[in-house]
Amino acid sequence: MKIGFIGLGNMGGPMAANLAKAGHEVAGFDLFAPMPEGVAKAASAAEAVAGADVAITMLPNGAILRSVADEIVPAMAAGAVFCDCSTVDVASARAVAEQADATGLGALDAPVSGGIGGASAGTLTFMVGGSDAAYAKVLPLFEIMGQKSVHCGASGAGQAAKICNNMILGVTMIATCEAFALADKLGLDRGKMFDVVSTSSGYSWSMNAYCPAPGVGPNSPADNGYKPGFASELMLKDLRLSQQAAQDADADTPMGKLATALYGNFVEDEDGKGRDFSAMLPRFAKRHRV
C-alpha cells in the first residue's frame, strides 16, 4: 500500500520503519523527528497523505489530532482510510471520524499498547474503533506493526478500551506498590511476597509481568533504575483522559480519580517525571502513615 505517516517520534518512527521494511511505500512528516530508514520525507502533512491508501497518525493529544485532521482530510482521496494511533480523548476521536466520514474516507481510532519496545519489535496491540470495511483494509498493516489487533466497535471504541485498560493498570500498580511498602514495614521479604501473591488471588499484570520491586520477578524497569518503559507522565495523561471520559459519561470511578490525583502529585510535585510509572514503589516505601 501507499501510506502517509504523520508523527514519527519514539512510537511512530519505528512503526513507520516496520511498514517500509515490509515493502510498503511510506511517506512521512514530522516537525522535529528524523525520517526513519525507508521512509520518504514529505514537505507537509498534506503532501505525505496525497494519493495514500492509508494515512496513519501518532500524535500527542486530541487538539493536535484535530488540527492535523483539518490539514490532511481535504488532501486524501475518497475511499482512503484515516487511522489514528494516538491516545486521545474519545470526543476528539469521534469528531475526527465524523469529519473523515463526511468526505468519503474510512476512519479508525487505533491506540496501542506495548510501548517503545513493542513499536520497534512490531509486537504492539491495537485497540480499534471504526467500520468493518476500514478495519479490514488496515488489518494487514496492524499485523506488521503489532502482534494483535482487536476491533472493539464503532468510532471511539478503541480509545474507550485503551482508557479503561490503563485506568485499571494505574490503579493496580499503585495497589501493588502500596503492598510492597507495607510488606517492608511488616518485615516480609519482597521475594517471598512475590512468590505468594504471583500465584494467589493478588495476581495481576503489575505484579507478575512488571513487578515494581527490583530483583523480584521477571526483569522490569525496576531493575534498570526505573528508566521508563512506560513513563509516569504518560500514565498521568491516560488517567486524566479516563476521568474526562468518566465525567462526560456520568460514570463513577473513585479509584480512577484517586489514582489520577496520586500520579498527578508524583509527576508534578515530586520526582516522578521521567521515571517509570512503577517508581511509585520507592515513593511509598519512604513514606509514613499520615
Which of 148, 162, 185, 286 is catalytic? The answer is: 162
162 is known as an active-site residue: yes
Render the chain in DSSP notation, one character per residue: -EEEEE--STTHHHHHHHHHHTT-EEEEE-SSSPPPTTPEEPSSHHHHHTT-SEEEE--SSHHHHHHHHHHHGGGSPTT-EEEE-S---HHHHHHHHHHHHHTT-EEEE--EESHHHHHHHT-EEEEEEE-HHHHHHHHHHHHHHEEEEEEEESTTHHHHHHHHHHHHHHHHHHHHHHHHHHHHHTT--HHHHHHHHTTSTT--HHHHTS-SSTTSSS--GGGGTT--SSBHHHHHHHHHHHHHHHHHHT---HHHHHHHHHHHHHHHTSS-TTSBGGGHHHHHHT----
Residues annotated as part of the active site: 162
